Amino acid sequence: MSKFSHVLITGASSGIGEALALYYASAGVRRLSICGRNAERLEKVAEKCRQNGCEVETKILDVVDASAIAEWINLCNAQMPLNLVFANAGVASLDESSDNVRNTFNINVFGVVNTVLPILELFKKAPSEQVKHLVITASVAGYHGLPACPSYSATKACVKAWGEALRPRLKKIGVNVSVVCPGFVRSRITDKNTCPMPFFMEADAAAKLIAERVEKNVGLIAFPWPMRFAVWLGSILPNCISDFIYGRLPYKV
């Protein structure tokens, strides 16, 4: 049984977001607030969650719209105080065209910012005894810039660093922060991949691992461990060595 009663998840219509919603519904949370951009997929997720007796609030919105997501978050909190929030919505692409780079930064960085800021305002005003936990989804790609996906790895490095910095800062006011850095997990994104995906995980297994570590208030949830070790090692190597290694990985210009 989860210690959280009201969980909010952005990007919940597929992938890790969907799997987290299903996990928490089965774990006995009283209420789920989930959003996404595809109404049909989001409603299917909601129906599965409701079969476990969970109340589910759905909302179709784009996390880039700061006023819309702030309004929705405040409404959800007014209905029942939020305990756990996943700033999870994100996109990934190997397309480095100007439009796509801007879209990747808008969703992966500013979408997270637009979710986190109103949540922090609510958490700061909440009673001290209320459980308050924020989870930011980054990626193992955020450990080092990847030539195959420069904009994606840059955006994930940004939100990873922000979450890690927020954790000790917000601990003083009773707000816990975790940063999730998954490797390759089944999603609509990885379904399109043609490149090798070492240590591939199913979304339900990833969600279970994330939820269990959030429950223990783990600050950095990076997995699977061989992938975490490899990207960590790449991040501390001298540039002359990392340039040699990353420069030989396949990618398109």
Question: Which CATH number covers residue 209?
Answer: 3.40.50.720
**What pLDDT sits at residue 185?**
87
Token pair 């009673």 is found at: 127
What share of residues in the chain are helix, strand, coil (percent, to 5)?
50, 15, 35
List active site positions. Answer: 152
Q: How many structural domains comprise the chain?
A: 1
31-36: strand order across its sheet: 55-60, 31-36, 6-9, 84-87, 133-137, 176-182, 220-223
Give the predicted TM-score (pTM) of the model: 0.92
Query: Left (φ > 0), alpha (ψ -120 to 50) or beta: where does 28 sit?
Result: left
- For residues 127-151, give the mean pLDDT: 94
Residue 131 lies in a domain: yes
Average pLDDT on 28-34 reads 97
The average pLDDT across 54-72 equals: 97
Q: Please indicate, yes or no, if residue 233 is contained in any of the structural domains.
A: yes
pLDDT for position 224: 92
Q: Which residues of 28-67 are buried (b: 16+ CB within 10 A; e: fewer)?
A: ebebbbbbbeeeeebeebbebbeeeebebbbbeeebeeee
Q: What is the pLDDT of residue 180?
A: 98
So what's the pLDDT on residue 158?
98
Arithmetic mean of pLDDT, 137-156: 94
Question: Is 80 exceeded by the pLDDT of residue 190?
Answer: no
Q: Which domain holds residue 57?
A: 6-246
Per-residue pLDDT of 228-244, as tens digits, reads 888 898 899 898 888 88
Residue 95 inside a domain? The answer is yes
Residue 252 lies in a domain: no
pLDDT at 169 over 80: yes
Residue 253 lies in a domain: no
Q: Is residue 206 part of a domain?
A: yes
**Inside any domain, residue 42:** yes
Whether residue 67 is contained in a domain is answered as: yes
For residue 85, what are the β-bridge partners?
Answer: 8, 134
